[in-house]
Chain A
Amino acid sequence: MQKRARINAAIVMSIIILWLMIPLGATAVYSLFEDWTGIVPRGFTLANYKTIFTDTAFLSAMYQTVLICVIPILITIAVMLLALFTVTVYFPKLEKYMQLLCMIPYTIQGVILSVSILILYARNDSVLSQRMVMLMGAYCIIILPHIYNGIRNGMRAINMKMLLDAAEMLGESKLKAFFKVIVPNIMTGIIVSSLLAVALLFGDYVIIRNLSSANVNNMQQFLYQAMKRSSTEASAVSMVIILITFAITALVLALQSRGMLEKMRNEGK
């Protein structure tokens, strides 16, 4: 019985792994060969990668992607740290409203968020109607649930009240103590949630399509345009996107398992 369950499990896992890997494998093979019309692809080549990495439009899309991912994340983390500090220490009654506000983006998601920001600001004359400002605003909101959860869970894991009281007794103000003592203690949580946010923004297509002006492009948009031009070039772009996403996920997994080990070690003490 036990053995049969284990064999069944192995079969199910193999099928799922295979199913999930096929599209990835296909993209990789397609990007690395000149011709793939039969069962066996022919003519190994790195030319597609050479083409895209010498294309200034691709490099500029890559650079812009990094920029428009990093800025909203830094803003949101700073805003969230201040707000969570104030609410947990001074206004615990507001906590549930804050949670509600942070979870709304989860249900409205990209399409509705981007068009509603467009309605509000597109015909405005001030700085708010600038495409870049609208995009940053939308990005800050769409990552709100992730950053909130990351920082909130980190705060729950340590005894924040006690640490702050201790610091206050030693003559530090609470706000200073928060940034000197609490923030370094929840750094792993902050980094993990910002990496998840990077993965989310990196994969965004709809918000940037609806909000950005024509000269701002991210890698997803570049891929979409490359698909229309040449599928071999697009496969190399797609592969670069996939590999970057993998690298981000691998980093998250590594940090999480390290966090888990630390926790186990601390509990053992």
Chain B
Amino acid sequence: MKDKRRPKALSGKNVRYYYLLALTPFLFLVIMYELMPLIMLVVDSFKSEKAKDVLFTFENYRKIFTTLSYKKAILNSLKITTISTAFGIVIAFLGARAAYNSRGKFRNAYLTVLNMTSNFAGVPLAFAYMIILGNAGVVKQIANLYGIDFLQNFDLYSSSGLTMIYVYFQIPLSTLLLIPAFNGIRKEWGEANMLLGGTNTHFWHKVGIPVLLPSLFSTLSVLFANALSAYATAYALLMNNFSLLPVNISASFVGDIKTKPKLGAALSVVMMIIMSIVILVNNYITKKTTKWEGS
């Protein structure tokens, strides 16, 4: 009823701009807690830690690329991220292909396990691995009991232990991301391949993988981002004793040791740049490989 007696000023085009008000809460949230913090982060990374009056310096970046421990953090992060992403994508390919090749109840159980474990990460996951493979872990004790050498010597609190846990949380995520892509492969293509005398390897090499390529690359960038920014798993297992980008960043802002917020800001910028490069390269390759259009 009210609408009919709406004043003229609010009708037509003006009503449209009146609705811009409805956008203000969103803009407020995004500007206050996303854009401004990020801008400040970049600005701060060019400020000096000691001299407060210096407004622009490369001091922090120079320090990062000349100090061994920071270089090590970057290398460790890249290493663990790359290895766990590689394992993740290979296992996901096999895992998603298995789901594609099967039907029925077992497949449903499999999908349920993948979904359920896809949120199992961070502190609870690190703790579960400590129960199994930690110094007082079950497997360790059994290995001691029966004298199984390679298990006795396995060190969970190392980069290989950490990689193993990272691979764990990559598996459900990547498999779930790849399963829909496999549905794009038609069963008839496999039959055609067989009729023409092609082998299974032939099929995946010439047909399957090229069709999946765009999805494989987009999954890769999700996995990379996921592993690079993982903090809780590493911190719960090794605290600040292992150099990793996210761990070093957090430690330069919060913690027992002296904080170095400007350097932490520069480390954050380095991490954002690595992340952006990987995502951009992947997007580019995905676009290049999507020449083939289904339907």
Q: Give the one of B23, B37, B130, B175 with max A CB within 10 A.
A: B37
B residues engaging A (CB < 8 A)?
3, 16, 19-20, 22-23, 25-26, 29-30, 32-38, 40-41, 44, 91, 94-95, 97-102, 106-107, 109-110, 112-125, 127-132, 136, 138, 141-142, 145, 168, 171-172, 175, 194, 200, 225, 229, 231-232, 235-236, 246, 249-250, 253-254, 261, 264-265, 268, 271-272, 275-276, 279
Are A16 and B175 in contact, CB atoms less than 8 angstroms apart? yes
Q: How far is the CB of A73 from chain B (nearest CB, A)?
A: 13
Q: How far is the CB of A261 from chain B (nearest CB, A)?
A: 15
Which residues of the other chain, A, contact B145 by a CB distance below 8 angstroms? Answer: 38
Are A224 and B112 in contact, CB atoms less than 8 angstroms apart? no
Residue of A111, A117, A203 near B37 (CB, 8 A) is A117
Residue of A10, A78, A210, A249 near B119 (CB, 8 A) is A249
Cα–Cα distance between A158 and B158 once the two chains are bound (Å) = 51
Which residues of the other chain, B, contact A234 by a CB distance below 8 angstroms? Answer: 127
Are B99 and A9 in contact, CB atoms less than 8 angstroms apart? yes
Residue of B22, B37, B110 near A86 (CB, 8 A) is B22
Which residues of the other chain, A, contact B20 by a CB distance below 8 angstroms? Answer: 86, 91
Q: How many residues of A contact B (CB 8 A)?
A: 86
Which residues of the other chain, B, contact A117 by a CB distance below 8 angstroms? Answer: 33, 37
Number of A-B contacts (CB under 8 A): 243
Are A210 and B279 in contact, CB atoms less than 8 angstroms apart? no
Are B127 and A223 in contact, CB atoms less than 8 angstroms apart? yes
Which chain A residues (56-100) contact chain B, with CB distance < 8 Å? Answer: 75-76, 78-80, 82-83, 85-87, 89-91, 98
Residue of A109, A137, A246 near B32 (CB, 8 A) is A137
Cα–Cα distance between A164 and B138 once the two chains are bound (Å) = 62
Are A205 and B122 also in contact (CB < 8 A) when A87-B23, A210-B253 are?
yes
Determine the residue in chain B with the shortest Cβ distance to A246: B116
A-B contact pairs, 26 of them (CB 8 A): A10-B102, A13-B106, A13-B107, A16-B113, A24-B117, A26-B131, A26-B132, A30-B138, A36-B138, A38-B145, A39-B142, A75-B29, A79-B29, A83-B23, A90-B16, A98-B26, A113-B37, A118-B261, A119-B37, A120-B36, A137-B32, A140-B29, A173-B3, A206-B235, A220-B232, A223-B127
